[in-house]
A and B are shown apart, each in its own frame.
Chain A
Amino acid sequence: MDLFDILLSASFWAAAIRIASPLIFATIGELICERAGVLNLGIEGIMVAGAFAGWIAVWAGLPLWGGVAVAMLTGMMLGLVHSIFSVPFGLSQHVVGIGLTLLATSLTFYTYRVVLPEVSSPPKITAFQPYEIPLLSDLPLVGPALFSQTPLTYAAFVLAALTALVLYRTPLGLAVRAAGENPSAVAAQGLSVTAIRMGAVTVGSGFMAVGGAFLTLSAFDSFFFDMVNGRGWICIALVVFGAWKPGKAVLGAILFAAFDALQIRLQQTGIGAVIPYQVFLMMPYFLSILALVVMSRRAEIPNALMVPFNKGER
């Protein structure tokens, strides 16, 4: 198979969109946190916890959407923990975030062993099935690529659009953006920077967890310890790539996912026989770094990102 054949095949793009979906959830979640001025490095651990919580809830008998809700709530609770330390206490966001990632990951593994003490391979659930949107799914190429996905993928795109609407078209979104640019401007208007930032981190973390749950409830049908596999860190980079704008961040997620889908397919072609497969595995990351360097040079970073706000200080 030649490169053009791959790029023109519907199954390639369908895979890219599927791989992009969890990244979109988590990237949007991280973007909301960062727009309010808080870097959330707990993302990796929150995704692990979300993947587990959603899956175990469905395994225990909840419907699939119930699993999504449990994942979301788990993420929000972890986000609340992050925000308590990073916002009112104003601790280093790096330390809080990395600490939360370690805590959430370990707690997940611990809970897994407590719930399933004598299981050698994790049980499977019935995951989300693709839903073909009538009419749209009949379109050539885009039909199978975009409109024959699972409901959770559609939800990812809806979430990105809603986030953009809220950020740019509502007073709440304006307050969130202002909290990330100049918190004193928010405080001077009699609004609570603490409440806005804590809310943003809590909600954003909820979406990260749903991104994790996508892996267990839609992409696969079970939970493995290393399944998140650094996706959280990729999302941190995607926020920068997207210049803190939801639309561009979604594009970045799809681009990264396309590279990922491409490398799997390239491994099976003639060059795959010559070049070691590790080179292909490296490709999406390498190209992401390249794109990041090009795209993020002119981005407007939220001015107060990573700057704790203490009332009464200048």
Chain B
Amino acid sequence: MNNTTKAQVVLRLQGITKRFGPVTANEGVSFDLHRGEVIALLGENGAGKTTLMNILFGQYTADEGTVELFGQTLPPGAPRAALDAGVGMVHQHFTLADNLTVWENIVLGVDPLTAPRLKPAQAKARIRALSDQFHLKVDANAKVGRLTVGERQRVEILKALYRDAKILILDEPTAVLTPQEAEALFATLREAIATGLSVIFISHKLHEVMAISHRVVVLRHGKLAAERATNQTNREDLAALMVGSEVSAPSIETGAPGASLLSLRRVTTPDQGAAPGLKSLNLELAAGQIIGLAGVSGNGQAALSDLLSGLITPTSGEMEMNGTAVQRWTPRTAIAKGIARIPEDRHKTGTIADFDLTENAILETYASRFSRRGWMNWAQARAFTKDLIKTYDVRCPGPDIRIRLLSGGNMQKLILGRVLEEAPQIILANQPVRGLDIGAVNYVHGALAKARDRGAAVLLISEDLDEIMQLSDVIHVISEGRLSPGFGRGTMRAEDLGAWMAGHGFDAESPNAT
């Protein structure tokens, strides 16, 4: 867009500084947003993107600096004022009430609480008009809890548009979408900016930033590191600006498949509530391979990882480990057979926040390795933890501090060390880099590749297609509990995988063959 310089300034951030105790989250950040413009706000985790947006939205009060909306200075710390001035925010974690309908969620808070009554018919008509105009298809009478993630996001956007938002802030909007859904979202955004809406698009996915934005604002350590017109920059340039030095992702070569360590044949597991079980699934985990599992979350990934962890057993089908059929299948046998897990949620199931590093490091092996006749051997456990800290580069003051004080990346390194030290045959890595910064991501990926080269089979479950495509020797797509055939490295484009993720290509007659 060449005329952005002439367009009206709708938002002006000036010298925004925000401190939390000794930590400076934002320091002297200034930029302008024009009418009909898309600014991509780019930065690593912890770079201060979300803090900045929360200040703009009035949830935090800036220590220094001002926010101007349409020439008016925004009173600090008043979300209502930002809303009324026309700022709509689509949070990364949706703020929707599941048991309420779509239209109820959208009109919440629009009328004053003293208004005598809701006007459902009027509201629904308006929602229909908006969803037609911006191609945001959604059933206004449906309960939000029944919607897919993509549909929920549409509800969030409709919520902002319903309030006549002039500025739309999207916080990592594509993190939960299939490539097709993301493309549809971009189409909607293009429609919206044509009508004069301005957008701030928070992301760390460089190709999306390049595709949708007019300008890119890069934050690093809370400071504005750079501001670039999108058509005058490229992905490498932006990546370097984001981390402050040239990024070197580990180059991961294809592994040579070895013997089959685990094979599933026509395995079916029961549905668990809304989450589908596995439907006659065939899967082969061979030594020396990274097997990537792509798919939108909630499509059977949980069932598969529960199955491999021994938490559930198949209702039908066969399971073989190292060529012999599996008889009794419990978490204990799974661990004994050398299946190690990097859990999906390191805070909830991976660690115990108020335990120290030592206690967390031996969570899975304390009984077998670190105790004798029922008594713990703490000296040995501490020594083991010290080794882990050194080998896996866990940056921390020592083994005796509580793990909640560690950053996500260092926490994950400790979990990684805990898992890899056991030299497992099969590694179940569930979203191993979610929420980590690039440095930690590269470290984890390198470690997984190393484990593979040693002869382990790694099952990588991720919603991030880039990660799957970069790492995997074989890629399967899971959709509604069904598994696609295995695709070799480099044989599929993201769009092709996206079609499978959306459920196309599965043929009931011929279950997948590996």
* A314 contacts the other chain (CB 8 A): yes
* A282 contacts the other chain (CB 8 A): no
* Given A181-B99, A181-B100, A186-B80 contact (CB < 8 Å): no
Q: Residue on A with the closest CB to B115?
A: A171
Q: Kindly provide the distance from the CB of B86 to the nearest chain A CB, expressed in whole angstroms.
A: 13
Q: Using Cβ atoms and an 8 Å threshold, which residues of chain B touch A185? A: 95-97, 105, 108
- A-B pairs under 8 A by CB, number: 84
Question: Could you tell me if B107 and A303 are in contact, using CB atoms closer than 8 angstroms?
Answer: no
Residues 94-124 of B contacting A (Cβ, < 8 Å): 95-100, 104-105, 107-118
Q: Residue on B with the closest CB to A166?
A: B117
Q: Residue on B with the closest CB to A169?
A: B117
Q: Using Cβ atoms and an 8 Å threshold, which residues of chain B touch A314? A: 93
* Given A170-B116, A191-B113, A302-B99, A178-B108 contact (CB < 8 Å): yes
> Complex formed: what's the CA distance from A94 to B340 in Å?
39
Question: Could you tell me if A172 and B114 are in contact, using CB atoms closer than 8 angstroms?
Answer: yes
Among B58, B59, B83, B117, point to the contact of A189 (Cβ < 8 A): B83
* A190 contacts the other chain (CB 8 A): yes
> Complex formed: what's the CA distance from A188 to B169 in Å?
13
> Complex formed: what's the CA distance from A186 to B83 in Å?
13
Question: Could you tell me if A175 and B116 are in contact, using CB atoms closer than 8 angstroms?
Answer: no
* B205 contacts the other chain (CB 8 A): no
Among B84, B91, B98, B118, point to the contact of A181 (Cβ < 8 A): B98
Q: Kindly provide the distance from the CB of B393 to the nearest chain A CB, expressed in whole angstroms.
A: 28
Among A190, A303, A312, point to the contact of B99 (Cβ < 8 A): A303
* B310 contacts the other chain (CB 8 A): no
Question: Could you tell me if B118 and A188 are in contact, using CB atoms closer than 8 angstroms?
Answer: no
Question: Could you tell me if A169 and B113 are in contact, using CB atoms closer than 8 angstroms?
Answer: no
Question: Could you tell me if B98 and A189 are in contact, using CB atoms closer than 8 angstroms?
Answer: no
Q: Using Cβ atoms and an 8 Å threshold, which residues of chain B touch A172? A: 113-115
User: Looking at chain B's contact residues, is the secondary structure mostly helix, strand, loop, or mixed?
Assistant: loop
Q: Residue on A with the closest CB to B109?
A: A189
> Complex formed: what's the CA distance from A190 to B97 in Å?
15
Question: Could you tell me if B108 and A189 are in contact, using CB atoms closer than 8 angstroms?
Answer: yes
Q: Residue on B with the closest CB to A181?
A: B97
> Complex formed: what's the CA distance from A114 to B83 in Å?
54
Among B80, B97, B118, point to the contact of A182 (Cβ < 8 A): B97
Q: Using Cβ atoms and an 8 Å threshold, which residues of chain A touch B168? A: none
* A300 contacts the other chain (CB 8 A): yes
Residues 303-354 of B contacting A (Cβ, < 8 Å): none
Residues 155-187 of A contacting B (Cβ, < 8 Å): 169-172, 174-175, 177-178, 181-182, 184-187
Q: Using Cβ atoms and an 8 Å threshold, which residues of chain B touch A311? A: 59
Question: Could you tell me if B99 and A300 are in contact, using CB atoms closer than 8 angstroms?
Answer: yes
Question: Could you tell me if A186 and B108 are in contact, using CB atoms closer than 8 angstroms?
Answer: yes
Question: Could you tell me if A175 and B118 are in contact, using CB atoms closer than 8 angstroms?
Answer: no
Question: Could you tell me if B80 and A174 are in contact, using CB atoms closer than 8 angstroms?
Answer: no
Question: Could you tell me if B105 and A171 are in contact, using CB atoms closer than 8 angstroms?
Answer: no
Q: Kindly provide the distance from the CB of A70 to the nearest chain B CB, expressed in whole angstroms.
A: 27
Q: Kindly provide the distance from the CB of A141 to the nearest chain B CB, expressed in whole angstroms.
A: 36
* Given A175-B108, A185-B105, A170-B118 contact (CB < 8 Å): yes
Q: Kindly provide the distance from the CB of B124 to the nearest chain A CB, expressed in whole angstroms.
A: 14
Question: Could you tell me if A177 and B100 are in contact, using CB atoms closer than 8 angstroms?
Answer: yes
Question: Could you tell me if A191 and B109 are in contact, using CB atoms closer than 8 angstroms?
Answer: yes
Q: Using Cβ atoms and an 8 Å threshold, which residues of chain A touch B89? A: 188
> Complex formed: what's the CA distance from A172 to B107 in Å?
11
Chain B window 66-106, contacts with chain A (Cβ cutoff 8 Å), 1 for yes, 0 for no = 00000000000011101110000101010111111000110
Q: Kindly provide the distance from the CB of A277 to the nearest chain B CB, expressed in whole angstroms.
A: 43
Q: Using Cβ atoms and an 8 Å threshold, which residues of chain B touch A187? A: 79, 95
Q: Using Cβ atoms and an 8 Å threshold, which residues of chain B touch A191? A: 108-109, 113
* Given A170-B117, A174-B104, A191-B109, A303-B98 contact (CB < 8 Å): yes
> Complex formed: what's the CA distance from A169 to B120 in Å?
9
> Complex formed: what's the CA distance from A314 to B50 in Å?
13
Among A169, A171, A177, point to the contact of B97 (Cβ < 8 A): A177
Residues 111-157 of B contacting A (Cβ, < 8 Å): 111-118
Q: Number of contacting residues on A, CB 8 A? A: 24
> Complex formed: what's the CA distance from A293 to B203 in Å?
48
Question: Could you tell me if B95 and A175 are in contact, using CB atoms closer than 8 angstroms?
Answer: no
Q: Using Cβ atoms and an 8 Å threshold, which residues of chain B touch A189? A: 83, 108-110
Q: Using Cβ atoms and an 8 Å threshold, which residues of chain A touch B112? A: 171
Question: Could you tell me if A312 and B59 are in contact, using CB atoms closer than 8 angstroms?
Answer: yes
Question: Could you tell me if A171 and B59 are in contact, using CB atoms closer than 8 angstroms?
Answer: no
> Complex formed: what's the CA distance from A184 to B57 in Å?
14
Q: Using Cβ atoms and an 8 Å threshold, which residues of chain B touch A303? A: 97-99
Q: Using Cβ atoms and an 8 Å threshold, which residues of chain B touch A184? A: 91, 93, 95
Question: Could you tell me if A178 and B115 are in contact, using CB atoms closer than 8 angstroms?
Answer: no
Among B91, B104, B117, point to the contact of A188 (Cβ < 8 A): B91
> Complex formed: what's the CA distance from A171 to B80 in Å?
16
Question: Could you tell me if A171 and B99 are in contact, using CB atoms closer than 8 angstroms?
Answer: no
Among A171, A181, A300, point to the contact of B107 (Cβ < 8 A): A171
> Complex formed: what's the CA distance from A186 to B58 in Å?
15
Question: Could you tell me if B95 and A169 are in contact, using CB atoms closer than 8 angstroms?
Answer: no
* Given A185-B105, A189-B83, A189-B109, A174-B118 contact (CB < 8 Å): yes
> Complex formed: what's the CA distance from A181 to B97 in Å?
5
Q: Using Cβ atoms and an 8 Å threshold, which residues of chain A touch B78? A: 190
> Complex formed: what's the CA distance from A189 to B96 in Å?
11
Question: Could you tell me if A190 and B79 are in contact, using CB atoms closer than 8 angstroms?
Answer: yes
> Complex formed: what's the CA distance from A303 to B96 in Å?
11
Q: Residue on B with the closest CB to A191?
A: B109
> Complex formed: what's the CA distance from A31 to B96 in Å?
22
> Complex formed: what's the CA distance from A186 to B97 in Å?
9
Q: Kindly provide the distance from the CB of B115 to the nearest chain A CB, expressed in whole angstroms.
A: 5
Q: Kindly provide the distance from the CB of A112 to the nearest chain B CB, expressed in whole angstroms.
A: 39
Q: Residue on B with the closest CB to A196?
A: B113
Q: Kindly provide the distance from the CB of A197 to the nearest chain B CB, expressed in whole angstroms.
A: 13
Chain A window 270-309, contacts with chain B (Cβ cutoff 8 Å), 1 for yes, 0 for no = 0000000000000000000000000000001011000000
> Complex formed: what's the CA distance from A178 to B159 in Å?
15
Q: Residue on A with the closest CB to B60?
A: A312
Q: Kindly provide the distance from the CB of A94 to the nearest chain B CB, expressed in whole angstroms.
A: 22
> Complex formed: what's the CA distance from A120 to B97 in Å?
55
> Complex formed: what's the CA distance from A314 to B82 in Å?
20
* Given A188-B91, A191-B109, A171-B96 contact (CB < 8 Å): no
Question: Could you tell me if A190 and B80 are in contact, using CB atoms closer than 8 angstroms?
Answer: yes
Question: Could you tell me if B99 and A188 are in contact, using CB atoms closer than 8 angstroms?
Answer: no
Q: Using Cβ atoms and an 8 Å threshold, which residues of chain B touch A170? A: 115-118
Question: Could you tell me if A190 and B109 are in contact, using CB atoms closer than 8 angstroms?
Answer: yes
B positions within 8 Å CB-CB of A: 58-60, 78-80, 82-84, 89, 91, 93, 95-100, 104-105, 107-118
13 extra interchain contacts, Cβ-Cβ under 8 A, other than A188-B91, A190-B83?
A170-B118, A171-B117, A172-B113, A172-B115, A177-B104, A184-B95, A185-B95, A185-B105, A188-B89, A189-B83, A190-B58, A190-B84, A302-B99
Q: 6 tightest A-B contacts by CB? A: A189-B109, A181-B97, A190-B80, A188-B95, A182-B97, A171-B111
Sampled A-B contacts (21; CB under 8 Å): A171-B108, A171-B109, A174-B118, A175-B113, A178-B97, A178-B100, A181-B98, A181-B100, A185-B96, A185-B105, A185-B108, A189-B109, A189-B110, A190-B78, A190-B79, A190-B82, A190-B83, A190-B109, A191-B108, A303-B97, A311-B59
